[in-house]
Chains A and B, each alone.
Chain A
Amino acid sequence: DGGITQSPKYLFRKEGQNVTLSCEQNLNHDAMYWYRQDPGQGLRLIYYSQIVNDFQKGDIAEGYSVSREKKESFPLTVTSAQKNPTAFYLCASSPGEYPNYGYTFGSGTRLTVV
């Protein structure tokens, strides 16, 4: 079955440490997205990519970095510059550039600072 796989499901980060969240899709979608979800809030966009080797900052990109070397993969690195990284992170993809298609979401990674 086609879908999006996020790993790990749970991740613990020490202060000052960089961690990378994996996102892989086999839907042949061009566009991929990373969102952050905090309790009681909607989703906030971190980064998105509409094509391989290209990506744009979202609304809360500070302290995060991404790469898009392959169509199927869009990993997110949470750097030590992100001062409040504890959150639920969701990766999504869509067939085309504009969001009218609707998104397919992964199951998420819950990141906790210890």
Chain B
Amino acid sequence: AQSVTQLDSHVSVSEGTPVLLRCNYSSSYSPSLFWYVQHPNKGLQLLLKYTSAATLVKGINGFEAEFKKSETSFHLTKPSAHMSDAAEYFCVVSGRSGGGADGLTFGKGTHLIIQP
């Protein structure tokens, strides 16, 4: 079976400071991993994905994530937060070892708050 745990339900940072959103996963196979962002009353937008190529993945809007197999983690980072980054962030694992009927397992989300 596969699972994904977003370690923080809420993260609050000041504008201009670094962002760290934590995600741990478990999977019986080599998974693909994704981060999505959701602004209020909007759909999810793909930020970045890991699919067994480079372990450091760069995404849109200055975000990046590092796949660490030994730690089963896929944390999302950004060097300097912007007010427009305030949103809900979802870590998603996909693979054939389980999850939903389509092979995806969504984390419960981390709400990112940016303080002015």
Contact = CB atoms under 8 A, between A and B. Distances in A.
A44 B106 CA distance: 8
B101 A45 contact: yes
A95 interface: no
B45 interface: yes
B90 A42 contact: yes
Given A42-B108, A105-B43, A108-B43, A48 B51 contact: no
A108 B41 contact: yes
B36 to A, nearest CB: 8
Interface residues of B, number: 24
B44 A98 contact: no
B102 A102 contact: no
B22 to A, nearest CB: 15
B106 A43 contact: yes
B43 A106 contact: yes
A33 B44 CA distance: 13
Given A42-B107, A99-B103, 6 more contacts: A41-B108, A42-B90, A43-B44, A45-B101, A98-B94, A108-B41
Interface of B: 9, 32, 34, 36, 41-46, 49, 51, 90, 94, 100-109
Interface of A: 4, 6, 33, 40-45, 48, 56-59, 88, 90, 92, 98-100, 102-108, 110
